Amino acid sequence: MPAETVDDAILRLLEAAGPGRTISPPDVARALHAGPDWNLKMPQVRRAAIALAQAGRIVIYRKGRPVDPNNFKGVYRLGLSRQD
| pLDDT, tens only, 29-56 | 999 998 999 999 999 999 999 999 999 9
Q: Is residue 11 part of a domain?
A: yes
Q: What is the pLDDT of residue 83?
A: 59
Q: What is the rounded average pLDDT for all residues in the chain? A: 94
- In order of 9, 36, 41, 46, 51, the CA distances from 56 in angstroms are 17, 32, 23, 15, 9
Q: 78 and 59 in contact (C-beta within 8 Å)?
A: yes
Q: What CATH code is carried by the domain that includes residue 24?
A: 1.10.10.10
Q: What pLDDT, on the 0 to 100 scale, is given for residue 3?
A: 73
Q: Looking at the 3D structure of the chain, how many domains does it have?
A: 1
Range of the domain at 17: 6-80
Q: Report yes or no on 45 lying in a domain.
A: yes
In a domain, 1, yes or no: no
pLDDT over 70, % of the chain: 95
Confirm whether 55 is domain-assigned: yes
pLDDT of 84: 47
More confident of the two residues 83 and 22: 22
In a domain? residue 22: yes
